[in-house]
Structure formats: structure tokens, C-alpha cells
Amino acid sequence: MQKHILIVPGDGIGAEVTAVGKQVLEAIAAKFNHQFTYDEALIGHVAIEATGSALPNETLTKMRAADAVLFGAVGHPKYDNDPSAKVRPEQGLLQMRKELGLYANLRPIKLFDELLEASSIKPEILRGADILFFRELTGDVYFGEKKRSEDRNMASDLMVYQRYEIERIAVKAYEAARTRRGKLCSVDKANVLESSRLWREVVQEVALRYPDVETEHQFVDAAAMLLIKDPKKFDVVVTGNLFGDILTDEASQIAGSMGMLASASVGDSTGVYEPIHGSAHDITGKGVANPLASVLSVALLLDISFGLKAESEAVIAAVDAVLKAGYRTRDIANANTPADKLLGTYQMGEQVLRHL
């Protein structure tokens, strides 16, 4: 198979982890006899520094031309405590999602058995948990109109959904539920929000087309609680952009560490694959970041954008083998991890390659 992959490292640890991801792509191409070609492009803070824009036109053009994008992270602490900054790294990310029509963000939450102890949640609560989140990614309060009053004393964001936006993500979630355990939980705040009432209305309608899937509705506050209390009760979860942002970060604790979680953003054109963790400037350049979320993003990319199931499974099996062999990065290590099994970003990548 011939494919062109765009690597977009972005900010902070993005460069370190996508470098490992790319090595894994190369190893898969060699092993399974594919022709993968690569290019690179800028986004986020590094793009602002180089071009003044968080998403340069050149990057967008390259993304549209690629068969898939392997993405790192965006963000820089310099903007976080400066509420008046006009250009922000995150704008690049949001604009990319909108421009590429990436309306469905898939976040699989599954614990590797070897990491049962790495979580703050009890093993008996976690064992067997396996959730697939569908987070709507191009609507909601993220993209509604933003306003600041002239005297600067009032600020607002419009939380808004349209029927077709809800319907298309619901359909994707139901289709996935069919291939899994046949359960779907839709999360909203319909007891308070009009946009959530539309959300629930549309999901109820789509549900009629999938009588084989068991549908449940939860309010977002209850869902945030139940995810920790009883994660095994969930199969597919579908929710809006903001609630999805919060719930999937929370759910990362089910997987032991955020450093293990990959996501796929798909929609109208090129799919984008990225860790759910951020740019983590506190550890940038230290070579200690966990590259496995980027490696698992590669697994999603191979499966979803290229339909290469065996290749995807080989990547996941390699990660599993590395963990079984006892290798850990700092974030998933514990007091019992021997010093010679505690690896940096690059060495962890080497272990994955060795097990491929």
C-alpha cells in the first residue's frame, strides 16, 4: 500500500513523542511491505513563532493532501495566564478541526492489564473496563460566538448545536456500539440546557434506527461520578465537545495514565491521530515523556484511515509485550519498577520497535 503521512509535532513533548510514532510507522512499512512517505508541518506555538499564525496555510494545504496526519500536541504556558493574548496555540488546533471537518473524536479507554496498579482507582473496579468515547469535535461552546463587552466586564460564549451535527456523531457512535457490546450512553445536561434538550431529542430519534443497541441517557454530572464509581458499566459513550473534553480526561485515570491514551479525529477528509495528553512543557526536552500514546495513535491511524487491521494489531501487541516485559516510563512506573526497566522516551520507542 502507498500512503502519504503528514507528521505535525506541534509544541512541547509533541516533537519527542511523534518522533517515536514515526519510527513505528517506518517499522510497520518495512515489515508489511508498504510504501509510506512522510512530510512535516508546523502548528501551535512553534507555528506562531515562525509565521505569526497558529495554523499556517501551508500546514492546512499539506494536511488536505495527506492520507493521514500524525499529530503531537499544542499549547504553551506563556499564553495560559495571559487572558489578553490575541493569537493562541489552541486556535491552530481548533481551526484545524473545523477546516478538516473532524467532527468525530474517538477516544478508546482501555487498560492494559499490566498497568492495573498504575491507576488511582482500585483494580477490582477497573478490571475489564473498556469504553469508547465519541466526542463531537466541531461544534458546541468551542465554536459558538465569543463576545466581550466594551467595558470588558462581561464575557460570553454561545453553546450551540444543530440537529445535523448531533445526528452524524450519534450515527457513528451507534455504528460502533453494534460492533462492540451493543450499549450506548449519551451524556448531556438536558435538565438545564436547551442545546442538551436538542441533543437528547436527536439521539432518541437515531436510537429508533438501532433497536439492537441499548440506549441510556445520563446527565453529565452523574456521568462524571459513574465513570469512577463503576467504569465497567459503560461501552460506547457519545457526548458534546465540552463534556467530551472533560469526561475523557477524567477517564484517562481508568487507563492508568494519560500517557497511554490515543485518539482519532475523523470526519469529512483526512483523519488526524494524536495522544489525548497535552504539550506538557514541564517535562519537555527531558526525554522522559511516555511515547506510547503516540504509538497507539499510529495503531488507530493504520486501522481507521488505512484499514490495515493486522498492522494495527501488531502495534498494539508490541506495546502489550513491552509492558509485559516490565518496561515503564516514569508516569506508569511505581515503587516496584526496577531501575533498569525505567525508560526514557527514546528507549521506550526502541523497545516497541524490538517487539514489532
Of 3 and 107, the one with the shorter C-beta distance to a second copy is 107
**List of residues 6+ apart from 247 with CB closer than 8 A:** 133, 187, 220, 223, 224, 227, 237, 239
Of 3 and 97, the one with the shorter C-beta distance to ligand IPM is 97
Binding mask 36-75 for ligand IPM (x = CB under 6 A): ---------------------------------------x
- Residue 67 in marked binding region: no
In the complex, what is the shortest distance from the CB of residue 93 to ligand IPM, in angstroms, rounded to a whole number? 5
Q: Is 221 a catalytic residue?
A: yes
Q: What is the DSSP letter of 322?
A: H
Of 242 and 315, the one with the shorter C-beta distance to ligand IPM is 242
Q: How far apart are CA 356 and CA 99, in angstroms?
A: 35
Number of residues that bind a second copy (CB under 8 A): 66
Q: Is 340 a catalytic residue?
A: no
Q: Which of 331, 291, 308, 326 is nearest to 24 (CA)?
A: 291
What 3-state class would DSSP assign to 14? Answer: helix
Of 250 and 320, the one with the shorter C-beta distance to a second copy is 250
Q: Count of residues for the chain? A: 356
In the complex, what is the shortest distance from the CB of residue 115 to ligand IPM, in angstroms, rounded to a whole number? 21
Determine, following the binding rule CB under 8 A, whether residue 242 of this chain makes contact with a second copy: yes
Q: Is 39 a catalytic residue?
A: no
Determine, following the binding rule CB under 8 A, whether residue 87 of this chain makes contact with a second copy: no
313 CB neighbour count, 10 Å cutoff:
13
Residue 168: φ, ψ to 5°: -70, -35
Determine, following the binding rule CB under 6 A, whether residue 225 of this chain makes contact with ligand IPM: no
Determine, following the binding rule CB under 6 A, whether residue 250 of this chain makes contact with ligand IPM: no
Torsion from C-alpha of 47, 87, 90, 173, nearest 10 degrees? -110
Member of 26, 49, 113, 221 binding ligand IPM (CB under 6 A) = 221
Q: How far apart are CA 293 and CA 259, in angstroms?
A: 6
Which cell numbers hold the place of 70?
A: 500524525
Residue 36, beta-bridge partner list: 3
Q: What angle do CA 116, 121, 127 make, to 5 degrees?
A: 45
Binding mask 177-216 for ligand IPM (x = CB under 6 A): --------------xx------------------------
What 3-state class would DSSP assign to 44? Answer: coil
Q: Are strands 262-266 and 104-110 parallel, antiparallel or unpaired?
A: antiparallel
Which cell numbers hold the place of 64?
A: 488536505
- Residue 11 in marked binding region: no
- Residue 282 in marked binding region: no
Residue 53: φ, ψ to 5°: -120, 145
Q: How far apart are CA 187 and CA 199, in angstroms?
A: 9
**List of residues 6+ apart from 152 with CB closer than 8 A:** none
Binding mask 121-160 for a second copy (x = CB under 8 A): xx--x---------------xx-x-xxx---xxxxxxxxx
Of 147 and 286, the one with the shorter C-beta distance to a second copy is 147
In the complex, what is the shortest distance from the CB of residue 99 to ligand IPM, in angstroms, rounded to a whole number? 15
Contact set with a second copy (CB under 8 A) = 75, 79-81, 83-84, 88, 90, 94, 120-122, 125, 141-142, 144, 146-148, 152-164, 189-195, 197-198, 200-201, 204, 217, 220-222, 224-225, 227-230, 242-243, 245-250, 252-253, 258, 278
Contact set with ligand IPM (CB under 6 A) = 75, 90, 93, 191-192, 221, 245
What residues are designated binding site for Mg(2+)? 221, 245, 249
